[in-house]
């Protein structure tokens, strides 16, 4: 019984860990950008992440088919290429703290798109958590957010990531007959590691022309020194690879609004990380972060337990998948 309850909380835990890792990326990316160009950072961190992910994902069923799936290409474009490219370019025009604070828009954007696209009904507890989380990030934003070109680029990237989050859920909602059909097609189901890796493959491929252009105009530069090379390695291995897998696993199983509320912790955790790096303490910012975390806690603790739906069930079923559970590609 206890194991079952814990198992049903795994999606919440997965997104929570992903958010914690995600919140550290702004400061580290800014450090890498001191010596590297935005395209080199964007492509480099995912290339390193893929070195970790591809050998693991390639051994699992349906990896090649997932890479070829048009929906995977769209997810890679929205959740990797657009979001990370615009965020890294934005960091050239604004501070890491401001970039982290711009994530204040993500919970509301995700909930709104979930309502419009998935027709999700928001539970009262989710609404309470979303209101508190939004109030907290508004306080944080009011304390330090300035509207410049860097913030505008980050906001466009966030809108793309919110759509990516919602599309991870699209197709998961199913009635009893559909769920039974999915159960019969377990051989054709794609797990989070496979989907995350395939998404990263396409996101990296889509960003490659940007790197080529940077090289052609002489704007490309590789990271150097401990801060540049070490930061890029940490981004690729410790942050990018685990975050992709954990976020995909959780976001595919949780309502979009609940996932959005959890991302409200990014500005708060990002501010805590900035304090550790020596940023001066600001009482208003700290208050906003605390309020946002209360909202996240309410959404996390009171969110309904989630059955571990088949991994990758948001992907359209492959008609040519055989019934054997051992078929690979």
Q: What is the pLDDT of residues 106-124, one digit of tens each?
A: 877 887 788 888 777 767 7
Q: What confidence score (pLDDT) does residue 143 get? A: 60
**What's the pLDDT band for 317 if we cut at 50, 70, 90?**
very low
Q: What is the pLDDT of residues 233-288, one digit of tens each?
A: 999 999 999 998 898 888 888 877 778 777 877 777 776 777 776 767 777 767 77
DSSP annotation string for 153-217 = HHHHHHHHHHHHHHHHHTTT---HHHHHHHHHTGGG---HHHHHHHHHHHHHHHHHHHHHHHHHT
Please state at what angle helix 106-117 crosses helix 149-169, rounded to 10 degrees.
Answer: 40
CA 188, CA 182: separation in Å to the nearest integer? 9
DSSP annotation string for 240-273 = IHHHHHHHHHHHTTS-HHHHHHHTTHHHHHHHHH
Task: Tell me if 165 sits within 8 A of 259, measured CB to CB.
Answer: yes
Task: Tell me if 149 sits within 8 A of 95, measured CB to CB.
Answer: no
Task: Tell me if 113 sits within 8 A of 284, measured CB to CB.
Answer: no
Q: What is the pLDDT of residues 216-242, one digit of tens each?
A: 999 999 999 888 999 999 999 999 999
- Stretch 195-224: mean pLDDT: 93
Burial 128-151 (b: 16+ CB within 10 A, else e): bbbebbbbbbbbbbebbbeeeebb
Task: Tell me if 104 sits within 8 A of 110, measured CB to CB.
Answer: no
Tokens 């300035």, residue?
Answer: 146
What is the percent of the chain where pLDDT is above 90? 29
Question: In terms of C-beta density within 10 A (0-12 exposed, 13-18 middle, 19 or more buried), how is residue 99 classed?
Answer: buried
**What's the pLDDT band for 145 if we cut at 50, 70, 90?**
low
For 67, 201, 214, 215, 289, the CA distances from 219, given in Å and listed in that order, are: 31, 24, 5, 6, 37
For the chain, which residues make up each domain, given as ranges? Answer: 11-302
Query: What DSSP character marks residue 239?
Result: I
């Amino acid at each position: 019984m206890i194991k079952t309850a814990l198992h049903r909380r795994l999606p919440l835990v997965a997104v929570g860990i992903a958010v914690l890792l995600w919140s550290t990326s702004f400061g580290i990316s800014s450090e890498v950008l001191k010596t590297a160009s935005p395209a080199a950072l964007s492509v480099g961190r995912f290339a390193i992440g893929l070195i970790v992910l591809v050998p693991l994902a390639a051994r699992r069923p349906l990896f090649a088919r997932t890479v070829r799936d048009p929906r995977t290409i769209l997810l890679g474009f929205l959740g990797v290429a657009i979001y990370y490219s615009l965020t890294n370019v934005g960091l050239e025009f604004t501070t890491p703290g401001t970039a982290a604070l711009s994530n204040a828009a993500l919970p509301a954007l995700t909930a709104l798109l979930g309502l419009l696209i998935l027709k999700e009904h928001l539970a009262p507890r989710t609404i309470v958590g979303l209101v508190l989380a939004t109030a907290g990030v508004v306080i944080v934003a009011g304390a330090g957010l300035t509207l410049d070109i860097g913030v505008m680029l980050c906001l466009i990237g966030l809108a793309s990531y919110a759509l990516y989050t919602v599309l991870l859920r699209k197709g998961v909602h199913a009635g009893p007959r559909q769920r039974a059909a999915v159960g019969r097609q377990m051989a054709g189901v794609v797990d989070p590691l496979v989907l995350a890796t395939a998404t990263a493959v396409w996101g990296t491929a889509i960003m490659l022309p940007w790197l080529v252009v940077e090289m052609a105009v002489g704007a490309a530069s590789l990271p150097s020194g401990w801060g540049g090379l070490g930061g890029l390695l940490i981004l690729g291995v410790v942050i990018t690879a685990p975050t992709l897998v954990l976020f995909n696993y959780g976001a595919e199983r949780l309502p979009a609004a609940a996932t959005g509320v959890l991302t409200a912790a990014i500005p708060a955790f990002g501010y805590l990380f900035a304090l550790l790096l020596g940023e001066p303490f600001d009482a208003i910012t700290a208050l906003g972060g605390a309020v946002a975390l209360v909202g996240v806690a309410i959404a996390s603790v009171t969110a309904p337990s989630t059955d571990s739906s088949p991994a990758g069930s948001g992907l359209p079923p492959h008609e040519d998948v055989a019934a054997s559970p051992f078929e690979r590609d």
